[in-house]
Structure 1
Amino acid sequence: MADDSSRVDTEAILNGDRAAFEALVESETSRLFHVILRYVNDREAARSLVQETFLQAYKNLDSFRGDAKLTSWVTGIGINIARSWLRKNKREQPIDEDDMERLQPSFRFGRYTGSFEPWDPEQTAERSERKQLVHDALDQLSESYREVIVLRDLEERSTKETAEILDISRGAVRVRLHRARQALRELLNNHFASEFA
């Protein structure tokens, strides 16, 4: 995914230049909308949450520490706002840690004990009914696992940037991503296994 953040003049924004902030809004709105939409699965809510994100970012520019790119900081605000919205509006409970553990592959004497069914998430997500299955499976993951899949696999952010956005270590990103992918594979296996037999 192309990085539009090179067009963002962070220094001008931090110095109160409204035109520079408007350029940030213009360059990041589409990307931020897609990140938030993957969280909330509601286009109208995502549009509203994007506006709220930029409003909060503008109000809190003085709290930007400069540890990460400004665009990563704004994305982090958007994710937090989407999390809050989900807590207020989510009807289904995500998979808990015990269920996540059961969805991990099993090994005996160092050998994988399950049957391997190849699955390419990019290929299968191209058709709309499959996209919905993948989206539904993502919704079943806990917030911490869903967000790492969204940022790394769907938004194609680097491990470093994902760690900055989520304020966790790179190692934690890798572990969560591995566990989330394994859980998704198990959740989707019943739907897709027959097509790859």
Structure 2
Amino acid sequence: MESTAARISQAEPVPSQPPCDDSALAVRLRAGDEAAFEELVRSAGGRLLAVSRRMLGNEDDAQDAVQESFLSAFRSLEAFDGRSQLTTWLHRIAINVCLMKLRSRRRKPERQIGDLLPEFLEDGHQRNPSRPWNPEGDPGIETSELRAIVRARIDELPAPYREVLLLRDIEELDTEQTAEMLGMTPAAVKTRLHRARQALRALLEPLFTEVQR
């Protein structure tokens, strides 16, 4: 009999299929029904792969995260209480797996967030105010290139700010969901997100200012 990991690997994630009856599927999964497991991979695999790609920005890491997410879900089926959709539960597991992968990566010494934030004068005006720019409207930048640039700059943010930005702006979780995932208060999420966005803009601005000259 094939291992669970092998079945996941062979079941290349495809665009997610319409959801089935979650309660019935969970019962079948707990009973060890292999067909149910394959059905779960087919129905949710595409979504989990997309999430992992966005969070990790690396195809190999994303594929590994999908496998780890399904394995984690399979081991903790008893924790699924049916109050949310099975796919929603899997989504949260995938995000947790991706966060752990991000935190385990060996990184260069991180810059302090204060080094990336704009400076303000005593009168409240910003020192060296940002020039307006619209990178999406610039014909010199391809969409794929823009995504790669933005992703690379997100990775330069200090980890706590990068995580909040990924969850709120990339995964589009709401403030309360993000707070729960990261063990923070909603107020702390809002503050950290604001600073993360400011820092990201500061990192991106020199690139797009140069393009627009």
Q: TM-score, normalised by structure 2?
A: 0.69
Matched, 1:100 2:139: no
Partner of 2:24: 12
What is residue 132 of structure 2 aligned with on the other side? 118
Give the deviation of 1:25 after TM superposition.
3.6
Greater C-alpha Rg: 2
Q: Which residue of 1 is the match for residue 10 of structure 2?
A: none
Q: How does 1:65-84 map to 2 (within 5 A)?
A: 70-84=86-100
Across the aligned residues of Structure 1 and Structure 2, the Cα RMSD in angstroms comes to 3.3
Query: Where do residues 116-155 of structure 1 align in structure 2 (5 Å cutoff)?
Result: 116-120=130-134, 126-155=142-171
| CA apart distance, 1:190 | 1.1
Indicate how the Cα distance of structure 1 residues 25 and 169 shifts in structure 2: closer, same or farther if over 3 A, else same. Answer: farther
For structure 2, the residue ranges without an aligned partner over 5 or more in a row are 1-15
Task: Name the SS for the 1:111 alignment partner.
Answer: coil
- Residues 61, 103 of structure 1: alpha-carbon distance in 2 compared, 3 angstrom cutoff: same
For 1:146-165, list aligned pairs within 5 A: 146-165=162-181
Q: Answer with 69-78 or 109-118: which moved more.
A: 69-78
Match of 2:11 in 1: none
- Give the deviation of 1:8 after TM superposition: 5.8
- SS at 1:140's partner residue? coil
Structure 2 Cα separation of the partners of residues 174 and 5 of structure 1:
34
Matched to 2:19, the amino acid is: R
Higher helix share goes to which structure? 1
1:188 is matched with which residue? Answer: 204
Residues 30-72 of structure 1: CA deviation (Å, up to 9, x unaligned): 2322222233332122112101101101211223467866544
> 2:109 & 2:136 partners in 1: Cα distance?
23
| Cα distance change on mapping 1:132 and 1:101 into 2, 3 Å | same
Q: 1:121 to 1:31 in 2, by over 3 A?
A: farther
- Name the CA distance, whole Å, in 2 between partners of 1:38 and 1:47: 12
Contact kept, 8 Å, 2:157 with 2:196, in 1: the verdict is: yes
The answer to whether the Cα contact below 8 Å between 1:93 and 1:140 also exists between their aligned partners in 2 is: no
Specify the code of the residue in structure 2 equivalent to 1:7.
Answer: P
* CA spacing shift, 1:143–1:22, aligned 2, 3 Å: farther
Q: TM-score, normalised by structure 1?
A: 0.74
What is the alpha-carbon distance in structure 1 between the residues aligned to residue 135 and residue 169 of structure 2? 9
CA drift at 1:179: 1.3
The higher relative CO (CA closer than 8 Å, separation ≥ 6) is in 1
Aligned length: 191
Tell me if the contact between 1:75 and 1:165 (Cα under 8 Å) persists in the aligned partners.
no
Give the direction of change, closer, same or farther, for the CA distance of 1:185–1:22 in structure 2 (3 Å limit).
same
Stretch of structure 1 that moved more, 36-45 or 182-191 = 36-45
2:7 alignment counterpart? none
